[in-house]
Amino acid sequence: MNQDQLKQAVAQAAIDYILPHLSRDSIVGVGTGSTANFFIDLLGQHKMEFDGAVASSEATAERLKKHGIPVYDLNGVNNLEFYVDGADEATEHLQLIKGGGAALTREKIVAAVARTFVCIADGSKRVDILGEFPLPVEVIPMARSYVARELVKLGGDPVYREGVKTDNGNVVLDVHNLHIVDPVGLESAINNIVGVVTVGLFAARPADVLLLGTAEGVKALKR
Ligand code: 5RP
């Protein structure tokens, strides 16, 4: 199977996982990226079986609406059973690097609200130690240089993601050459830098379920 077929398989597995728990008034949290897009396209086939969705980006909101799925503002939603999203890296402890698509802040907010975070990823995303994928950090534009200097002190090599503005109007620094042995500690340290909006380390709040696409089929890892 190629990578797209693995993404398709985990998207289907996520549908199979959540569908039995959905009712006509359920709202589903939906992530951003190519794997999430496969999920959205499948979710569209079941739009009569739930109420609507909360989107982690403008791009996802657009795609959901094209399928006729109502998109709600998170502020008006007080019960979110599932959040389904991809990842750039995932460990066996279900800690993640996310933000390759620059949607990390809204992704982290929706993940925080959801009771169950279902991460879907092809097998290439599975790592023992996080950090080979450059760690995205969303930053208030005027703090970019200051935050970059602070990230260097933490051992990383930040690179400004040229030409990218997040849905929140901010910029992204991608931090290279990290070998993240203490994900919770690093998440907290980066969050504490003034000017940082969000770091794409999902360690303090990891996924609850990881559906991993492999040549042998979809493997489910749970916390
Ligand atoms: C977007 C994300 C994505 O989930 C992550 O980049 C994985 O994307 P893809 O499914 O395209 O590999 O965090 O901000």
Residue numbering of the annotated binding site for substrate: 32-35, 85-88, 98-101, 125
Domain limits, the chain: 3-127+204-222, 135-198
Pick the CATH number of 3-127+204-222 from 3.90.850.10, 3.40.50.1360, 3.40.50.150, 3.30.420.40: 3.40.50.1360
How far, in Å, is the centroid of ligand 1 from the Cα of 3?
13
**Rounded to whole angstroms, how far apart are CA atoms 111 and 96?**
12
62 assigned to active site: no
The SS3 assignment for 65 reads helix
Residue 60: predicted pLDDT: 98
pLDDT digits (tens, 9 = 90+) for 55-96: 999 999 999 999 999 999 999 999 999 999 999 999 999 999
> Cα torsion at 100, 107, 170, 153 (round to 10°)?
-70
How are beta strands 209-214 and 116-122 bridged, if at all? parallel
pTM score? 0.97
- Considering the domain delimited by 135-198, tell me its CATH architecture: 2-Layer Sandwich (3.30)
On the question of a common fold for 3-127+204-222 and 135-198, the answer reads: no
The residue count of the chain comes to 223
85 CB within 6 A, ligand 1: yes
Residue 5: predicted pLDDT: 96
214 CB within 6 A, ligand 1: no
Residue 49: predicted pLDDT: 97
Q: Which residues of the chain have pLDDT under 50?
A: none
